[in-house]
Amino acid sequence: MATFLLIAASSDIGGATATRLRDAGHRVVTTARDSSVIEPDFVLDATDFDAVDRVVGEVGELDGIAVFAGSMLLKPAHLTSREQYDGLIAASLTTSFAAVRAAGTHMRDGGSVVLVSSAAALAGLPNHDGIAAAKAGVIGLTLSAAASYASHGLRVNAVAPGLVETRLTAKLTSTDMSRRVSGAMHPLGRLGEPEDVARAVEFLLSPENAWMTGQIIGVDGGLGSLRPRQKV
């Protein structure tokens, strides 16, 4: 049995990952900003470096950490306020950095860190300027931290989802028309589900995949890398 810490486990993808890991017999420790969605083991502001460090230290020996914090804002740069920009960076990049920092301190005998980027950081999508900036930062952090901690056996990888049907994206998938349009953007022709991403996170966390580090796994229906032929 392995022990995994899931930060922002109240997210739909975090919840799906927690269920998969528990069903596989692992110990899962969860955090959330409050108790409105789940009853977490720790109430945690994941942007607070010291608080994240304390939680990781209190949990004790860990096999892996996954970070699911993030936010959604679809606007071009000129319509994005400084407050909105700071919120995007804090939710996606600062939380990821705080987790890597704590892992680098406490997981000196190895393990796995899994971060969440986005297909928006890999493909130019209109009105994703702030999200793309934050999530591209997660990719850069993943690669650098993987190099920094490889000698300790600490692996750092990331998943880069496309549009997944969650509470966070509900406004984009609330009608049949919006679902069809959004689904058509993905070469495989459908939106993602939390389980799609949770399976990839579980794979990267697993000690069985201990020869993988510094990888960005697109779980995006092809959105981040493919330009399919048009139907004729």
Which CATH number does the domain housing residue 86 bear?
Answer: 3.40.50.720
pLDDT of residue 39: 97
Q: Could you give the 3-state DSSP secondary structure of residue 193?
A: coil
Whole-angstrom distance, CA of residue 178 vs CA of residue 172: 6
Residue 9 within any structural domain of the chain = yes
Total structural domains in the chain?
1
b/e 149-164 (16+ beta carbons within 10 angstroms → b): beeeebbbbbbbbbbb
Is 103 a residue whose pLDDT tops 70? yes
The arithmetic mean of pLDDT across residues 72-97, rounded, is 96
Residue 230 within any structural domain of the chain = no
The arithmetic mean of pLDDT across residues 24-37, rounded, is 97
Residue 168 within any structural domain of the chain = no
pLDDT of residue 173: 73
The tens digit of pLDDT for each residue in 45-65 reads: 999 999 999 999 999 999 999
The tens digit of pLDDT for each residue in 92-101 reads: 999 999 999 9
How large a percentage of the chain has pLDDT more than 90? 85
Residue 93 within any structural domain of the chain = yes
Is 180 a residue whose pLDDT tops 90? no
Distances (CA, A) of 206 to 39, 64, 210, 216: 25, 8, 7, 16
pLDDT of residue 229: 65
- Supply the range of the domain harboring residue 207: 3-163+194-219
Is 183 a residue whose pLDDT tops 90? no
More confident residue, 118 or 182: 118
Distances (CA, A) of 70 to 15, 169, 231: 14, 11, 35
CB 156 within 8 A of CB 100: yes
pLDDT of residue 134: 97
Neighbours of 170 (CB within 10 A): 11
Of the candidates 218, 201, 210, 111, the one whose C-alpha atom is nearest the C-alpha of residue 162 is: 218
